[in-house]
Homo-oligomer: A and B are copies of this chain.
Amino acid sequence: MELSCKSEYALLALLELTAHYDEGEPLQIRQIAAQQNIPDRYLEQLLATLRRAGLVRSQRGAKGGYLLGREPWKITLLEVINCIEGLDSQPSEVMREPKSVEGMVVREIWQEAGRAADAVLQKYTLKDLAEKRDARRQLDIMYYI
């Protein structure tokens, strides 16, 4: 399980949108990028991908920005990484055909392992992640005292 920079940035950005979900006002790319230490021009591309998948909504023009496309407890981590990592990694898997029986069997095991990992990512939502973060923050304060 490799966590690509892309996926991490996307999750951090969505987590930031989750934190401000109740306010109902859009968050700007600049603010998200500054808060999470993400290159803003790069984040722009990721948000565009997330928008096409409906995970975020955008509001154009001055005072514009981004909002979550759905409630935070209805967006799973699996959706996010499938959206971000999905399109370009699938053709590379398809193009190299297993060509031998051994290859087929190996692939099947790999798919089983992948499904096991996906199951974990599917049971967590953005809300879960935000709650975990809050709990972690409380812990940090206690240790500080």
Contacts and interface: CB of A to CB of B under 8 A. Distances in A.
Assembly of this chain: how many copies?
A: 2
Interface residues of A, number: 41
Given A109-B120, A116-B119, A140 B1 contact: no
Contact of A109 (B36, B106, B121, B137): B121
A129 B105 contact: yes
A121 to B, nearest CB: 6
Could you tell me the dominant secondary structure of chain A's interface residues?
helix
Contacts of A8: 103, 106
Given A1-B1, A116-B117, A121-B113, A137 B106 contact: no
Given A103-B12, A107-B3, A120 B129 contact: no
18 contacts: A1-B1, A1-B110, A3-B106, A3-B107, A3-B110, A11-B106, A12-B102, A12-B103, A16-B102, A102-B133, A104-B136, A105-B133, A112-B120, A113-B117, A114-B117, A116-B116, A116-B120, A117-B117
